[in-house]
Amino acid sequence: CGPKVHLQWASGSQPVRKLSVVSLLPNKLKDFIEESVRLCRPSNLHVCDGSDAENAMLIERLLENHTIVPLPKYKNCFLARSSPRDVARVESRTFICTKNKRDAVNVPRGSTKGMLGNWMSLEDADRAVAERFPGCMEGRTMYVIPFSMGPLDSPYSKLGVQLTDSAYVVCSMRIMTRIGTKVLEKLDSPDDSGNGVGYFVKALHSVGHPADGPVQHPHWPCDPDRTIILHKPEMDEIISYGSGYGGNSLLGKKCFALRIGSSIAHREGWLAEHMLILGVTNPKGRKRYVVAAFPSACGKTNMAMMRPTLPGYKVECVGDDIVWMRFDRNGQLRAINPEFGFFGVAPGTSRTTNPVAMDTVFENTIFTNVAQTSDGGVYWEGMDKLEPGVTITDWQGNPWTPGSSTPAAHPNSRFCTPAEQCPIIDADWQSPDGVPIDAILFGGRRPSGVPLVYEAFDWKHGVYVGASMKSEATAAAEHKGKEIMHDPFAMRPFFGYNFGHYLQHWLSMETPNVKVPKVFHVNWFRKDDQVSALLKYLQARIRGL
């Protein structure tokens, strides 16, 4: 005796009888939807087909609810302003839930709490769900988003289904992942890793409803006091409650592609990493692909879209945040970008720092928490000069002038934009076989003491270099101040299993049958006196080459 569910199939507004639609879906998906409907009690159910018409209908709905406003200066761009209490990933409320604690996190001797992830028992996770989810979607639509991480024709890709009560999440997932009917069709065929027909990662998401009163920001409902993000790697399940922002709610990204992904990769013998992928072609036309791991908001997007100043060099972008990679039959490391879009940090992006991003983001883009200009455009700190006569509204909707004491855009404000719009997107960025990787870079924000670049002696030393990474905290999560934190492999908030096992896994990649890539550590955030001297020296050397 569940709620009355009005079902919509695809973008049509004709209600379709519940059983006729749900019974068409693979059994595991049918069960997942039915269980979640019983728990969350939505008023409507909508299975997404991913079409343009469906997207237009959802954008209309978001405009009506004032979740987004149009940006008439650009083509098909919108601005969302979140609740000021829901602006970044919430690492302290993000948990890996396993039967045995040691499978999820390392437990340092003499301490009960490690720094590399939070663990919760499966029983406590069930309790957390029972305290938050019953009836949480009342009055809202539950959207069913079938999505693929990676190109649909790639054996490296994995499927997921996210259930969510946020239309903003649907529109963002449509940019960040491949969604819709094609994914449903693929769910009907056996999965490449031997998981059988209909295998997918289950992802349940609700923006929630505060227990003690009405939602504070009706245009951006959330429940910041009870936000929780749970991962069950033994069941390939994600459950996220209370936040509609970024990595907390676009569950294909950090939750699936990194936390659940790293745990699947551990089981299946490959690597899921927090890395950009780019191709560099030298003046002789020799092309090599490189992956690079930097923590969130440390310039992965800028590097992935670099315009080289060295004459004759060309950079092309495959991905800016996540890589799935494995050694092929010939021992060559190959990588795919499991994503379909860029969720990039806006502040600091300009014609000087990242002209390629500036040529990417002003079409078909959802901006969140940037400032708005009176001529229907966007503005953020570090963007190019303001045109005369234009006034600014800050990310919270208040008037703003350059003399204001608060920033115009939130430091973790983002653009969510289709990767295919990037003018230097690599010709092979969607290749089902991935691209061959020759080098791995590790780096972080280190204002002093760490050199510009050094190379690891060998694979083992390279793993050590990745493991000993540190970086200054950024606005991508809830950290205050600029403390230098350990951030091994730039994965500190994203490990899906015990870091000790993760290190063993990385070490086990080197076998007599494979060609391991070169490993380097880099740091272009150094600000101390020696830097200018070093830069002058390097420029002189390059000129002399």
Residues that are catalytic? 298
Binding range to Mn ion, per CB under 5 A, among 188-196, 293-301, 334-342, 438-446: 293-301
Measured from the CB atom, the residue of 86 and 394 that comes closer to Mn ion is: 86
- Looking up tokens 């595991």 gives 28
At 58, give phi and psi (nearest 5°).
-70, -40
Question: Applying CB under 6 A, does 87 fall inside the site for ligand SAT?
Answer: no
Of 19-38, which residues contact ligand SAT (CB under 6 A)? none
Min dist. Cβ of residue 369 to ligand SAT (A): 11
Min dist. Cβ of residue 544 to ligand SAT (A): 39
Per-residue x/- track, 287-316, ligand SAT (CB under 6 A): ---------x--------------------
Q: Which does 261 bind (CB under 5 to 8 A by kind): Mn ion, ligand SAT, none?
A: none
- What is the Cα 265 distance to its own chain's centre? 17
Residue nearest to ligand SAT (CB): 247
Q: How far apart are CA 507 and CA 408, in angstroms?
A: 45
Measured from the CB atom, the residue of 296 and 498 that comes closer to Mn ion is: 296
Q: Minimal CA–CA distance to 83: which of 242, 251, 238, 253?
A: 242
How many chain residues are in contact with Mn ion, going by CB under 5 A? 2
119: left (phi over 0), alpha (psi -120 to 50) or beta: beta
Min dist. Cβ of residue 151 to ligand SAT (A): 21
Q: How far apart are CA 236 and CA 239, in angstroms?
A: 10
Measured from the CB atom, the residue of 364 and 368 that comes closer to ligand SAT is: 368
Q: Which does 89 bind (CB under 5 to 8 A by kind): ligand SAT, Mn ion, none?
A: ligand SAT
How many chain residues are in contact with ligand SAT, going by CB under 6 A? 8
Measured from the CB atom, the residue of 314 and 479 that comes closer to Mn ion is: 479
Measured from the CB atom, the residue of 37 and 251 that comes closer to ligand SAT is: 251
Q: Which does 244 bind (CB under 5 to 8 A by kind): ligand SAT, Mn ion, none?
A: none
Helix and strand counts by DSSP (H, E) for the chain: 14, 31
Of 314-333, which residues contact ligand SAT (CB under 6 A)? none
Binding range to Mn ion, per CB under 5 A, among 84-92, 291-299, 311-319, 425-433: 291-299
3-state secondary structure 411-480: CCCEEEEEHHHCCCECCCCCCCCCEEEEEEEEECCCCCCCCCEEECCCHHHHHHHHHCCEEECCCCECCC
Sign of CA dihedral 457, 460, 462, 468: negative
CB within 8 Å of 508: residues ≥ 6 apart: none
Min dist. Cβ of residue 181 to ligand SAT (A): 26
Query: Which element (helix H / strand E) includes 60?
Result: helix 52-64
The answer to whether residues 222 and 59 touch, using CB atoms and an 8 Å cutoff, is no
Question: Applying CB under 6 A, does 343 fall inside the site for ligand SAT?
Answer: yes
Residues linked to residue 431 through DSSP beta bridges, in sequence order? none
Question: Applying CB under 5 A, does 296 fall inside the site for Mn ion?
Answer: yes
Measured from the CB atom, the residue of 49 and 273 that comes closer to Mn ion is: 273
Looking from the CA of 131 toward its CB, the CA atoms found within 13 Å total 14
Q: Which does 178 bind (CB under 5 to 8 A by kind): Mn ion, ligand SAT, none?
A: none
Among 254, 266, 410, 526, binds ligand SAT (CB under 6 A): 254
Question: Applying CB under 6 A, does 247 fall inside the site for ligand SAT?
Answer: yes
Binding range to ligand SAT, per CB under 6 A, among 222-230, 247-255, 306-314, 457-465: 247-255
Min dist. Cβ of residue 321 to ligand SAT (A): 6
Q: What letter does residue 252 receive in the DSSP assignment?
A: I
Binding range to ligand SAT, per CB under 6 A, among 98-106, 138-146, 246-254, 529-537: 246-254
10: left (phi over 0), alpha (psi -120 to 50) or beta: left
Q: How far apart are CA 246 and CA 249, in angstroms?
A: 6
Min dist. Cβ of residue 58 to ligand SAT (A): 20
Question: Applying CB under 5 A, does 321 fall inside the site for Mn ion?
Answer: yes
Q: Minimal CA–CA distance to 137: which of 268, 38, 55, 32?
A: 38
Question: Applying CB under 6 A, does 246 fall inside the site for ligand SAT?
Answer: yes
The residue type found at 434 is G
Q: How far apart are CA 332 and CA 109, in angstroms?
A: 39
Question: Applying CB under 5 A, does 243 fall inside the site for Mn ion?
Answer: no
Question: Applying CB under 6 A, does 476 fall inside the site for ligand SAT?
Answer: yes
The answer to whether residues 325 and 339 touch, using CB atoms and an 8 Å cutoff, is no
Question: Applying CB under 6 A, does 89 fall inside the site for ligand SAT?
Answer: yes
Binding site for Mn ion (CB under 5 A): 296, 321
Residues that bind ligand SAT (CB under 6 A): 89, 246-247, 253-254, 296, 343, 476
